[in-house]
């Protein structure tokens, strides 16, 4: 029996669930299988020393308060719970005393967890609006179809983290789905889903003091309107970009000339699987990791009955080589619907946030009453990966997560809670642990640190 797998191994299920159908709360007491006491007490660890073990300066997240998670299944937005917000958490404060400072920022969970960008200096935060806020009337009767396509970019000056200052709201193209900022903080990449109202895939924006001063829309060679640019990101060199085509499950790389305002294909296109959402360059820029959710038209409800997803590693070609070839060098299976993942600073670990089927209505027999995190050991040089531990936890729709600067602590967005007595969403904290006498065996452990934010957090960034 492989130690470290919650399915193969000691199986603790303590899911005190609350069914909330039309705001009716029905408690269900699930079974409790006895396991060794030391494992029970190891499920969560409280920070009683007052020392903040999560290293970094600030965590910044955004919350979509317009919908409950089950709207993905039945389209019902549910009762309104506040206003869309950006949240800032000061990591100089001990996590057991920290709280979030929040300011309004229109955003939507209806896309990849990539609607927030912050420059490296931590001065400006940019938030895209994929769908508009819900109407202000008929609070409980709204449907997802009531939301219009968004086209607002909200910008805050966050130099003073205790008092963020609104720089402005600028109109961009309709239905932006991801945003990233160049390493020098001067250029934004915004990807769009094309529509009758917007036939542009990619927007490149020069910014000065948080304001757009120059815009162009480079043509992507051989792309059609039916292609879907779900995610675009900058390489650490500031001269290369990645584009994920969700419609074809492909990743392409381009050199970008900001003076000539053109992009040029670099190497081959890489097929990665089915329904990729986001990608991450490693810090040194030699690899690009991408997820696959395996959603699609052949899946009931597009995503409700999806199988387990994957995380893949693309090893990039070496600059100057005659035969430029990027290779999908490794791929591992994780949990169901791994919409978000993070790579540790040294590239030795990857963690996927598996939403499982936590968004389903409580009266749906497929509701599993948990989400999970998968810990992946990775060879930083070759990109080879293997899953070494998966942990379930009581959280709904975890879409975004980040490592701290040590690469051993993790913050995760929890969109909502199964327990109706807990209001809003949260940023929950986990850590990588090992037996001191067997340091090679790594596991994920949830701590008792959890910081409340407005319901619906789904994109998060660490300012280090």
- 3-class SS letters over the chain: CCCCECCCCCCCCCCCEEEEECCEEEEECCCCCCCCHHHHHCCCCCCCCCCCCCCCCEEEEEECCCCCCCHHHHCECCCCCCCCEEEEEECCCCCCCCCEEEEECCCCCCCCCCCEEECCCCCEEEEECCECCCCCCCCCCCEHHHCCECCEEEEEECCCCCCCEEEEEEECCCCEEEEEECCCCCEEEEEECCECCECCCEEEEEEECCEEEEEECCCCCCCCCCCCEEEEEECCCCCEEEEEECCCCEEEEEEEECCCCEEEECCCCEECCCCCCCEEECCCCCEEEEEECCCCCCCCCCCCCCCEEEEEEEECCCCCCCCCCCEEEEEEEEEECCCEEEECCCCCEEEEEECCCCCCCCCCCCCCCCEEEEEEEECCCCCCEEEEEEEEECCECCCCEEECCCCCEEEEEECECCCCCCCCEEEEEEEEEEECCEEEEEEEEEEEEEEEECCCEEEEEEEC
Q: Is the pLDDT of residue 216 over 50?
A: yes
pLDDT of residue 53: 84
Closest to 80 (Cα-Cα) out of 152, 129, 21, 142: 142
Give the residue with greater pLDDT, 18 vs 325.
325
Which pLDDT score is estimated for 52? Answer: 63
Residues of the chain with pLDDT > 90: what percent?
83
**CA 103 – CA 84 distance, rounded (Å):** 8
- pLDDT reported for residue 413: 98
> What's domain 17-463's superfamily in CATH?
YVTN repeat-like/Quinoprotein amine dehydrogenase (2.130.10.10)
C-alpha angle 442-448-452 in degrees, rounded to nearest 5: 125
Per-residue model confidence (pLDDT) at position 404 = 98
Every domain of the chain and the residues it spans: 17-463
Distance, in Å, from the CA atom of 404 to the CA atom of 422, rounded to the nearest integer, reads 26
C-alpha to C-alpha distances, 135 to 81, 94, 310, 444, nearest whole angstrom = 13, 39, 37, 41
Burial of 57 (0-12, 13-18, 19+ CB in 10 A): middle
Tokens of 315: 């090893």
134 to each of 73, 77, 151, 285, 458, how far by Cα in Å?
Answer: 18, 9, 14, 40, 18
Mean pLDDT of the region 325-343 = 98
Work out the burial of residue 24: count CB atoms within 10 Å of its CB; fewer than 13 is exposed, 13-18 middle, 19 or more buried. Answer: exposed
d(CA 454, CA 393): 20
Distance CA 48, CA 238 (A): 42
Q: Which residue has the higher pLDDT, 139 or 3?
A: 139
Q: Which of 285, 310, 297, 402 is nearest to 349 (CA)?
A: 402
With cut-offs at 50, 70 and 90, classify the pLDDT of residue 92: very high
Residue 237 predicted with pLDDT over 50:
yes
What pLDDT shows up at residue 140?
67
Terminal C-alpha separation, the chain: 40
How confident is the model over 245-251, as a mean pLDDT? Answer: 98
Return the pLDDT at 51.
54
Is a pLDDT exceeding 70 seen at residue 447?
yes
> Cα-flanking dihedrals φ and ψ of residue 13, to 5°?
-120, 110
Q: Mean per-residue pLDDT for 176-199?
A: 95
Least confident range from 310-314, 347-351, 433-437: namely 433-437
Pair type for strands 24-28 and 58-63: unpaired
Identify which has the larger pLDDT, 80 or 23.
80
pLDDT digits (tens, 9 = 90+) for 39-76: 333 333 344 444 568 999 999 999 999 999 999 999 99
């Amino acid at each position: 029996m492989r130690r470290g797998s919650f399915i193969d191994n000691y199986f603790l299920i303590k899911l005190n669930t609350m069914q909330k159908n039309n705001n009716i709360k029905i408690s269900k007491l699930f079974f409790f299988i006895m396991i060794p006491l030391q494992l029970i007490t190891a499920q969560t660890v409280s920070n009683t020393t007052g020392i903040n073990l999560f290293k970094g300066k600030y965590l910044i997240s955004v919350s979509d308060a317009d919908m409950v998670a089950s709207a993905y299944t039945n389209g019902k937005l549910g009762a309104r719970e506040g206003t869309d917000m950006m949240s800032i958490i000061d990591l100089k404060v001990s996590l057991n005393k920290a709280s979030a400072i929040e300011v309004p920022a229109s955003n939507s969970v209806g896309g990849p967890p990539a609607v927030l960008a912050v420059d490296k200096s931590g001065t400006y935060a940019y938030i895209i609006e994929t769908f508009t806020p819900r109407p202000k009337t008929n609070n409980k009767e709204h449907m997802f179809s009531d939301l219009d396509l968004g086209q607002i970019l909200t910008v805050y000056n966050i130099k003073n983290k205790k008092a963020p200052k609104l720089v402005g709201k600028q109109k961009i193209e309709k239905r932006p789905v991801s945003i990233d900022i160049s390493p020098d903080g001067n250029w934004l990449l915004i990807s769009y889903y094309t529509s009758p109202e917007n036939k542009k895939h990619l927007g490149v924006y020069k910014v000065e003091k948080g304001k757009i001063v120059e815009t162009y829309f480079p043509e992507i060679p051989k792309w059609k309107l039916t292609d879907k640019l779900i995610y675009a990101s900058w390489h650490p060199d500031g001269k290369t970009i990645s584009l994920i085509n969700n419609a074809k499950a492909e990743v392409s790389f381009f050199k970008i000339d900001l003076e000539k305002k053109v992009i040029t294909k670099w190497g081959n296109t890489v097929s990665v699987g089915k329904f990729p959402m986001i990608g991450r360059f490693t810090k040194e820029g030699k690899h690009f990791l991408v997820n696959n959710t395996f959603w699609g038209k052949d899946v009931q409800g597009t995503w409700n009955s999806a199988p387990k997803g994957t995380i893949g590693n693309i090893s990039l070609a070496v600059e100057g080589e005659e035969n430029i070839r990027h290779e999908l060098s490794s791929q591992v299976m994780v949990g169901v619907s791994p919409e978000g993942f993070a790579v540790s600073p040294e590239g030795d670990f990857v963690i996927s946030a598996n939403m499982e089927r936590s968004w389903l209505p409580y009266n749906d027999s497929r509701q599993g009453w948990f989400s999970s995190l998968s810990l992946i050991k990775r060879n930083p040089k070759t990109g080879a990966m293997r899953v070494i531990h998966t942990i379930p936890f009581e959280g709904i729709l975890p879409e975004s997560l980040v490592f701290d600067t040590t690469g051993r602590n993790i913050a995760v967005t929890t969109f909502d809670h199964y327990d109706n007595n807990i209001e809003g969403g949260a940023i929950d904290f986990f850590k990588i642990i090992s037996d001191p006498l067997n340091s090679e065996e790594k596991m994920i452990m949830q701590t008792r640190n959890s910081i409340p934010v407005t319901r619906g957090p789904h994109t998060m960034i660490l300012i280090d």
